[in-house]
């Protein structure tokens, strides 16, 4: 066998491997992006619940926790819109996670307020809806995180790491 044939065989094997590895990276990235859609739908339900349940406070006394929950929901919605455009962008996902945590803290603060003459600050029906959304969102979040983890592991493996660097595949951020 001549040297030139051996070189062509090696190049063919390397090219075959590179195409396969690139296709795998693209497939894993698209699966992670697709896994964001159900998570986004669940997160949107939080915003819908808050905005549909609370009107803008008209009284200064009401402006405390309810206004905080509404403001947190608006911030969460805008972070969700930014993450929708780039679901694997680490900065967008960190902003979404921070807005998610802020919304949860605001909701907890409202839930822990003492009842007044009008009744509970947070009706039990709303709390039940919130918990149902949280359960479904946790399942969607786990699936998204699993897909992102598989993608992140693939782009740091040695030979595929070279292709990831060459084609600009960046690590994604999970939602905790």
Q: How many Å apart are CA 49 and CA 63, to the nearest integer?
A: 18
- Can you list the residues of the chain whose pLDDT is less than 50? none
Q: What is the pLDDT of residues 8-44, one digit of tens each?
A: 988 988 888 888 888 888 999 999 999 999 999 999 9
User: Residue 83: its pLDDT value, please?
Assistant: 94
∠ CA 49-173-151, rounded to 5°: 115
> Are 90 and 107 contacting, i.e. CB atoms less than 8 angstroms apart?
no
Q: How many Å apart are CA 3 and CA 24, to the nearest integer?
A: 32
User: Residue 57: its pLDDT value, please?
Assistant: 55
Length of the chain: 176
User: Residue 111: its pLDDT value, please?
Assistant: 85
What is the pTM for the complete model shown?
Answer: 0.82
Q: How many Å apart are CA 85 and CA 19, to the nearest integer?
A: 27
User: Residue 164: its pLDDT value, please?
Assistant: 81
Alpha helices in the chain (DSSP H): 3-53, 65-85, 90-111, 124-156, 158-167
């Amino acid at each position: 066998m001549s040297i030139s044939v051996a070189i062509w065989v090696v190049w063919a094997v390397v090219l075959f491997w590179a195409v396969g590895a690139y296709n795998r990276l693209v497939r894993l990235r698209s699966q992670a992006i697709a896994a964001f859609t159900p998570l986004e739908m669940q997160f949107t339900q939080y915003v819908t619940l808050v905005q549909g349940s609370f009107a803008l406070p008209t009284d200064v006394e009401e402006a405390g926790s309810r206004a905080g929950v509404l403001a947190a929901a608006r911030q969460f919605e805008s972070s969700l819109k930014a993450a929708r455009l780039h679901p694997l962008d680490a900065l967008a996902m960190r902003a979404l996670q921070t807005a998610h945590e802020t919304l949860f803290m605001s909701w907890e603060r409202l839930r822990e307020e003492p009842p007044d003459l009008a009744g509970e600050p947070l009706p039990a029906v709303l709390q039940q809806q919130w918990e149902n959304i949280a359960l479904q969102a946790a399942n969607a979040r786990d699936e998204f995180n699993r897909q992102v983890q598989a993608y992140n592991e693939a782009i740091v493996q040695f030979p595929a790491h070279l292709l990831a660097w060459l084609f600009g595949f960046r690590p994604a951020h999970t939602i905790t």
